[in-house]
Chain A
Amino acid sequence: MPEIDNRNSEKTVYELSAVGRGTNLMPECDVPKTELPGVLLRKDTETIGLPGLSELDVVRHFVHLSQRNFSIDGGFYPLGSCTMKYNPKISETCARFEGFAQSHPLQPDETVQGNLKLMYDLQEWLKEIGGFAAVSLQPTAGAQGELTALLMMRAFFRNCGETGRTQILIPDSAHGTNPASTTMAGFESLEIPSDKHGNLDLAALNAACDDTVAGLMLTNPNTLGLFERDIETIVRCVHDCGGLVYGDGANMNALAGVVRPGDLGIDVMHYNLHKTFGTPHGGGGPGSGPLGAGDKLAAYLPGPMVRRIDNAEKPDPGYMLFTPEKTIGRMNSYFGSFGVFVRAYAYILQHGAEGLKQNALHAVLNANYLREKLRGIYPLSHDRTCMHEFVLQGKIDGSSVRAVDISKRLLDYGFHPPTIYFPLIVPEALMIEPTETESKQTLDAFADAMKAIALEAVDHSETLHSAPHTTPVGRLDEVRAARQLKLREDDRKVKDNLNKA
């Protein structure tokens, strides 16, 4: 086993630590002390093993780490189905207003009218944008929105006495969260293939639709970036067999202001505020996945939700929390990701209806433009007008390079790679979502890089196989990570280090 080379790496908080070093943040105790219950305490001799760092150590360490992280603020990030668009800075300012950031979730309604109005308006706006009867802001991420909706569907059928509906139909192009949520909700998933145009195979759908079907989960536009042209037939087919249609709103950035999923007959759908409505992705969350529901399912939504108190005598009578009549219950401790609601509210209010529509139009323009620029250089999964994203194959004639090599090489050109190897139905998939906030210059530069890489793939394939060359570390050994698990700093090393220092 070769030694691990740490010379180039940022030391960990433990390697930087020394016992007794720290920052004094707390005041002295200003009340008479009470004897601590000795038997419940950690032993006197016990070291927990937390870092000992000066404040400057902490700041430098995390600044160094930030410098080893690609972000939208740092460069083009065309990660398909993730909608990595610009995150407005005004939202950060507003979410930190004390009235929002310092309010406690269990305060009485009358003391948090600002928060409740914001949540009410956001519910109403999302209803309008999606074409639904009601919206609950509870779910904290898209996947939680899926699970919530499936549990609602389950409760709906139980109430109707239709307990034989155990199957959820899922296209083969779907995100892995769809089948995973299905299992968690106690359903079985049945995969429906795509046809040669990249749409759901209608014959296969027809054959699967019977009285064991609880519903269909449909991402539209799908993960190939294609609008399901037969959407109305698909919805009718599921409804005719007594099932419900779930819309996965991950790709709603193509549709906000363009078409309302509720108008297409979708029964329930989650929105990703961290995609469509410009809230930050946070390096992997927090997100927010509010759920819109039509008449059939609205009463099952998770609460608490917010409603306006109707009182003709007062122009602004106020807002209150309530729980829908047949609710499945709560999905988390309080109301969901409130801080994310503030940002999404700010985003919608800054755009208005026309602004949201223009976003969608330009997201689709940018995707099609980039797709056109790359046509003929990489094989397209499906050659038709795409929505906000498209899928290429990372294959070059006469070269052994794969999607992974191309994506790693993109890092050397200063771009974040697309989503790779997804959707699973396209070999060597590169799924590219440029978003509307990228300029023509950026798109052209990215296309140039992709062209340059295609040439390198033929003449200098080794450069691609060994890429990236400019990042703090090169290609990492994922097999070793999974086989020789090291998921934390070793406890003994932590304590020895602290004691030695």
Chain B
Amino acid sequence: MNFLPHTETERREMLSTLGVSQLEALFADIPEHVRFPDLTLPSPLSQMELEAHLSKLAGRNANASSHECFLGAGAYHHYVPATVDYVIRRGEFFTAYTPYQPEASQGMLQAMFEYQSMICQLTGMDLANASHYDGATALAEAVRMALDLASGNRQKVVLSPAINPHYRETVRTYLCGSEASLVGEDTAPGKLDSLLSQLDDLVAALVIQNPNFLGQFENISGLAEKVHQAGALLIVVADPIALGLFQSPDSYGADVVIADGQPLGIPLSFGGPSLGIFATRMAYVRHMPGRVVGETVDQAGRRGYVLTLAAREQHIRRARATSNICTNSGLMALAAATYLATVGESGLRKVAELCFHKSHYAAQQLAGKAGLNINTHAPDQPFFKEFYVQLPRPVDEVNRILREEYGIIGGFDLGACYPGFERQMLIAVTEMNTKAAIDRLVDALVTVTR
């Protein structure tokens, strides 16, 4: 009787109010031959046993606390200020639901309004919605919005191959029920010219990631003009930490900016829950998917916040809604809002600078080491916090030794997703990696690959 409050007396009283003698009598509508099956589930544990059991299970995972982590590729080990968990762990927030009753939900609504405001400042966009599940689904919805804006006249979307492969897969799944086609993924990563050559009057959007999945900044000069000349939208997948230091996608002409918000105060948590950031221009507000919070006043003229533009959404528009999204990632948006409010402008810049300097230090230390081939010093390919290095041995082999002998979680095996990138390891360095840890990684890689 874990969380059931009724005493036997109360239960009897309640049943007699209903004129039945046992609980099972309330289920007569259910076909008898399948009613009350014997389920084979483990015997229940007490809270004390449960905590011990889960602690033991958790203990079977290597993780970024037990090991030094240089793995990124879309999910990053960043510092989470103590304020973030303090705020999102308040029951007033995490045990509420979608703020359907605004008078009783001003806290969450105002926090979402502030989240939207901070995302707009960061991306340079006019408006942001109140969240998607993660970066991949935010991108899928952005692509759908671009197709929707073209009203069926444009059915192609150009995807850069240097977008996170999992995002591209998600977009493909989302579109598998539509007429739309995805092109561009077979071009060489980091070569925007070959992407631009795919533009024609059937293209609804061109999507790039910047910095891209390989960590590099794309050469975006003149990009938006060409995309817009072709009548398509430019969708940019951004890194929210990089936006603290580097140009906003607004400054180079993006129409939609999406990002995975996990770096903004959300733990790795084996990839979820995360946060999908979606920001765009005012012109597209009525086509935008997702919840959005607006400011208004009450009857006495007092400031307040409500969910607005509901006429786009599934509970009003049903089959003609801009998206089916209902439950989103509210608590994670609150985490991001708390993160940004805590670190502020100079704090975010500092995190970005630390990522930049430390990853470059790591790359410089690895450069020129026998057996390792690093390409990151080409001046036309600046990078942010990730770079790749060619190893003389398979990446998974190297990673096993790094882990077992050095306590290091090594980088991502690019060969798993990119033909021609066999034995290339994508290494992520963040503010969490000290100089000593980076030096240890360098020594280990040199030793392992000797």
Contact = CB atoms under 8 A, between A and B. Distances in A.
Interface residues of B, number: 205
B57 A142 contact: no
B353 interface: yes
A73 B91 contact: yes
Nearest to B57: A114
Interface stretch (B73-81, B181-189, B190-198, B228-236): B73-81
Given A25-B343, A26-B347, A350-B44, A98 B58 contact: yes
Contact of A42 (B96, B117, B247, B268): B247
A271 to B, nearest CB: 13
Nearest to A440: B10
B23 interface: yes
A208 interface: no
Nearest to A79: B97
Interface stretch (A45-53, A239-247, A390-398, A450-458): A45-53
Given A232-B31, A280-B95, A22 B347 contact: yes
A362 B26 CA distance: 10
Interface stretch (A291-299, A307-315, A471-479): A471-479
A68 B95 CA distance: 13
Contacts of A372: 17-18
Given A129-B39, A475-B298, A488-B120, A82 B95 contact: no
A342 B54 contact: yes
B213 interface: no
Contact of B301 (A3, A94, A180): A3
A175 B40 CA distance: 32
Interface hub of A29, A58, A330, A416 (most chain B Cβ within 10 A): A58
Interface residues of A, number: 209
A317 interface: no
Interface in B109-162: 110-111, 113-114, 116-118, 120-122, 126-128, 130-131, 133-137, 144
Contacts of A419: 100
Contacts of B351: 26
Contacts of B169: 329-330
B204 to A, nearest CB: 16
Given A69-B92, A184-B144, A111 B303 contact: no
B370 interface: no
B84 to A, nearest CB: 10
A371 to B, nearest CB: 9
Given A351-B44, A494-B121, A4 B301 contact: yes
Contacts of A488: 113, 116-117, 120, 126-128
Given A128-B40, A353-B40, A487 B293 contact: yes
B304 interface: yes
Nearest to A404: B101
A142 B302 contact: no
Nearest to A368: B18
Contact of B89 (A92, A358, A373, A473): A92
B206 interface: no
A3 B301 CA distance: 7
Q: Which 4 A-B pairs have the closest CB atoms?
A: A334-B271, A105-B271, A99-B58, A186-B177
Given A6-B302, A154-B176, A258-B36, 19 more contacts: A10-B110, A12-B117, A40-B217, A50-B344, A53-B342, A69-B105, A71-B93, A102-B66, A142-B327, A143-B327, A179-B318, A181-B324, A284-B97, A329-B176, A330-B170, A332-B170, A350-B2, A365-B26, A486-B295
6 contacts: A42-B251, A68-B105, A100-B269, A282-B96, A286-B273, A477-B298
